[in-house]
A and B are shown apart, each in its own frame.
Chain A
Amino acid sequence: MSTPLLEVKNLSVSFDVSRPWLNRKLEGQDKVLLKAVNDVSFSINKGETFAIVGESGSGKSTIARLIVGLLKPSSGDVFFEGKSLSAGLEGAEARKLRRRFQMIFQDPFASLNPRWHVADIVAEPLRVFKTETGKQRREKVGELLSLVGLSPEDGAKFPHQFSGGQRQRIAIARALAANPDFIVCDEPTSALDVSVQAQILNLMKDLQDKLGLTYLFISHDLSVVRHMADRIGVLYLGRMAEIADAKSLFVDRQHPYTRMLLDAVPDLGMTGKPRKPVEGEIPSPLDPPSGCVFNPRCPLANARCRTERPELRLYGPTWAACHAVEEGRDKAA
């Protein structure tokens, strides 16, 4: 097998959420660490879309920030074409590597500087990497705006003159400016309504075909993920519960958490299939359950689940971290 484009190995990060030092001293408290991402591994092949789904607070955005280098991992590493990103973060080579990564954020309103012309926003990555002359840059910006379905003249406008969907197009044009191979998209359409979302998702697929892009696509919407992804990682409380290719996840799902998520999706097909009620809520990441983090909500949990942490293992085409799957107990249920 060829080297994957991106490989995430045993990535973990903790946030220090303790009270200030003085309070801790006075009140005799310990440091409080929140483990937002806990020993996560996956890889993404060139030209594919890998999606991460999970409930709010499961650590999706934190993984995105770790990958694009906005955050340093507590342990573990990210490899791009086999090269470690944390080993050589400094230096020209790392800069060159970084240029091939871009990120699109959830909120098209907050991620664009309101005082800049759209042309300057889109050109920003070009300037940072200082490759083109002024004229080349203007031409490139015009091309990029056309590519995302806007017109070159729109460059003279300000972000507030655009609708939410158009602003997300601007953000995509900016991400494409640096000629990236790999784009991390953190909930790129959650702030948009469905008809605008369809325009953006179609655009992203077209661009992928045209430019051979690889996407890490983060979303909490299973239908969107189903539409976009080749492979899907299901994240729960900072741990990967399951990694499967998109088709098999929806047909032949393994992990009890995945099953619960899918059963909770309202049914547009109106097949009359009863939706199963969801048990409990995602626990506090400050005090995660021992053993399998899903055990308080899992219908298949037993004594082993409460003490021993399950690791990802391969079952057919699917990776799952679950004792019941390993023991074959899930099929009985």
Chain B
Amino acid sequence: MSTPVLSVEGMTVQFPTRRGILTAVDDVSFSIKAGEVLGVVGESGAGKSMTGSAIIGLIEPPGRISSGQVFLHGERIDTLPAEKMRRVRGRKIGMIFQDPLTSLNPLYTVAEQLVETIRTHLPLSAADARKRAIGLLDDVGIPDASRRIDDYPHQFSGGMRQRVVIALALCADPDLVIADEPTTALDVSVQAQIIDVMKKLCAEKGAAIMLITHDMGVIAEIADRVAVMYAGRLAEIGPVRKVISDAAHPYTKGLMGSIPSLLSDAERLTQIPGSMPRLTAIPQGCPFNPRCSYAFDRCYIERPDPLPHDERRVACWLYDKEEALS
């Protein structure tokens, strides 16, 4: 087996606060291969963005990775000095954040920003960098790229700005792209274009993509595997078809049922009662137990780790072999 592009092992992210230590990401392990898209879903506050930030070494202090390891092509990166990590980030990891305006500088033209970023990471002349920048804008579907490149960000519509951000993230041909809700603020029509760009990137350049989103439709469309997070932990991770059409973890089941569909005539949506616990008040045992209709004795005492089950890993005592035997 070849080494995965990204491999995260037992990563835990903690924030010391006055009221004790908050664990925002709790013992999370997964990997992404070249050309593969891993979708990450879960309720707001589940730790999706934090997992992404931790991988690229951008956690707001005093937060830190308190245990676990992160590998890029088999090389450990969570212990790299800040300066080295900064270079890895620009050269090997591309990032796309939800709000395109935060990643673009309003004072510079798109050309200036793209060319500068390209030249920081690749040994190209200004003219060649500009050529590359125009090609990238073309790739992400900006019409008339050679003319539009000299515009300022505010002269683009929201969807086009998001495409510029994607071009910026792809400047240096990254091996790994972490995209945090790249399409959430966009209309379906624009969203569809962005999805196509990302698909192409994966297929043609063999990039590994970690795609964080609330939109299950987007996941179904481009992800190969999906990770479901709940209260900072992995609840379930596996092939997208399995997880979507045959969810194993009770939380995933609830999540899937709560999505209205274009095809279904259901009068009511399935709803998960209650809400996710606050990080300061995670119950003992399985963090989902107060909302779980399958919960039994063991769920209130022991915390389940993700265990292999039917091509995936599921953190739920229902799928523990010993449990099944008894």
* A joins B in a complex: yes
Q: What residues make up the interface of A, taking CB atoms closer than 8 Å to B?
A: 55-56, 163-166, 192-199, 201-202, 205, 220-224, 226-227, 250, 260-262, 264-270, 275, 277-278, 281-282
A303 to B241, CA, bound (A): 46
A226 to B188, CA, bound (A): 15
Number of A-B residue pairs having CB atoms within 8 Å of each other in the complex: 118
Among residues of A, the one whose C-beta sits closest to the C-beta of B275 is: A163
Task: Given the known inter-chain contacts A265-B188, A270-B241, please indicate yes or no for A193 contacting B259, CB distance below 8 A.
Answer: no
Q: Is B122 an interface residue (CB 8 A)?
A: no
Task: Given the known inter-chain contacts A194-B255, A201-B269, please indicate yes or no for A281 contacting B190, CB distance below 8 A.
Answer: yes
Q: Which 8 A-B pairs have the closest CB atoms?
A: A266-B217, A198-B258, A227-B260, A198-B269, A278-B189, A266-B221, A264-B192, A55-B187
- Among the 9-residue stretches B19-27, B154-162, B299-307, the one with 4 or more Cβ atoms under 8 Å from chain A is B154-162
Among residues of B, the one whose C-beta sits closest to the C-beta of A53 is: B188
Given the complex, which residues of A lie within 8 Å of B158, measured CB to CB?
56
Q: Are A270 and B269 in contact (CB under 8 A)?
A: no
Q: What residues make up the interface of B, taking CB atoms closer than 8 Å to A?
A: 43-44, 157-160, 187-193, 195-196, 214-218, 220-221, 240-241, 244-245, 254-255, 257-263, 266-272, 275
Given the complex, which residues of B lie within 8 Å of A269, measured CB to CB?
220, 261, 263
Q: Are A193 and B218 in contact (CB under 8 A)?
A: no
Among residues of B, the one whose C-beta sits closest to the C-beta of A257 is: B189
A222 to B263, CA, bound (A): 11
Given the complex, which residues of A lie within 8 Å of B275, measured CB to CB?
163, 165-166, 196
A47 to B21, CA, bound (A): 51
Q: Are A193 and B44 in contact (CB under 8 A)?
A: yes
Most central of A193, A205, A221 by chain B CB within 10 Å: A193
Q: Are A277 and B193 in contact (CB under 8 A)?
A: yes
Q: Closest CB of chain A to B203's CB: distance in Å? A: 15
16 contacting pairs across A/B (C-beta < 8 A): A164-B44, A193-B44, A193-B214, A194-B259, A195-B258, A196-B43, A198-B270, A223-B217, A227-B260, A264-B191, A264-B192, A266-B195, A267-B221, A268-B220, A270-B220, A277-B193
10 more contacts with CB within 8 A, not counting A193-B44, A264-B192, are A195-B43, A197-B258, A199-B271, A220-B187, A223-B261, A224-B260, A227-B266, A266-B215, A270-B241, A278-B189
Given the complex, which residues of A lie within 8 Å of B191, measured CB to CB?
264, 266
Find A198's partner among B160, B190, B192, B271 (CB 8 Å cutoff): B271
Task: Given the known inter-chain contacts A194-B216, A270-B220, please indicate yes or no for A278 contacting B260, CB distance below 8 A.
Answer: no
Find B244's partner among A197, A227, A261, A270 (CB 8 Å cutoff): A270
Given the complex, which residues of B lie within 8 Å of A199, measured CB to CB?
271-272
Q: Closest CB of chain A to B72's CB: distance in Å? A: 29
A275 to B218, CA, bound (A): 11
Given the complex, which residues of B lie within 8 Å of A224, measured CB to CB?
260
Q: Closest CB of chain B to A224's CB: distance in Å? A: 5
Given the complex, which residues of B lie within 8 Å of A278, measured CB to CB?
189-190, 192-193
Q: Are A55 and B189 in contact (CB under 8 A)?
A: yes
Q: Closest CB of chain B to A215's CB: distance in Å? A: 15
Given the complex, which residues of A lie within 8 Å of B268, measured CB to CB?
202, 205
Q: Are A264 and B260 in contact (CB under 8 A)?
A: no
Task: Given the known inter-chain contacts A195-B272, A250-B262, A277-B192, please indicate yes or no for A266 contacting B218, CB distance below 8 A.
Answer: yes
Given the complex, which residues of B lie within 8 Å of A267, measured CB to CB?
217, 220-221
Among residues of A, the one whose C-beta sits closest to the C-beta of B187 is: A55
Task: Given the known inter-chain contacts A202-B269, A205-B268, A226-B262, please indicate yes or no for A277 contacting B187, CB distance below 8 A.
Answer: no
A55 to B216, CA, bound (A): 20
Given the complex, which residues of B lie within 8 Å of A193, measured CB to CB?
43-44, 214
A222 to B269, CA, bound (A): 15
A269 to B245, CA, bound (A): 8
Q: Are A264 and B189 in contact (CB under 8 A)?
A: yes
Given the complex, which residues of B lie within 8 Å of A260, measured CB to CB?
189
A164 to B193, CA, bound (A): 30
A199 to B269, CA, bound (A): 8
Given the complex, which residues of A lie within 8 Å of B261, measured CB to CB?
223, 226-227, 268-269
Given the complex, which residues of A lie within 8 Å of B217, measured CB to CB?
223, 265-268
Task: Given the known inter-chain contacts A198-B269, A278-B192, please indicate yes or no for A223 contacting B255, CB distance below 8 A.
Answer: no
Q: Are B254 and A195 in contact (CB under 8 A)?
A: yes
A166 to B158, CA, bound (A): 30
A163 to B278, CA, bound (A): 10
Q: Closest CB of chain B to A18's CB: distance in Å? A: 19
Q: Are A261 and B189 in contact (CB under 8 A)?
A: yes
Among residues of B, the one whose C-beta sits closest to the C-beta of A189 is: B260
Given the complex, which residues of A lie within 8 Å of B258, measured CB to CB?
194-195, 197-198
Find B262's partner among A56, A223, A281 (CB 8 Å cutoff): A223
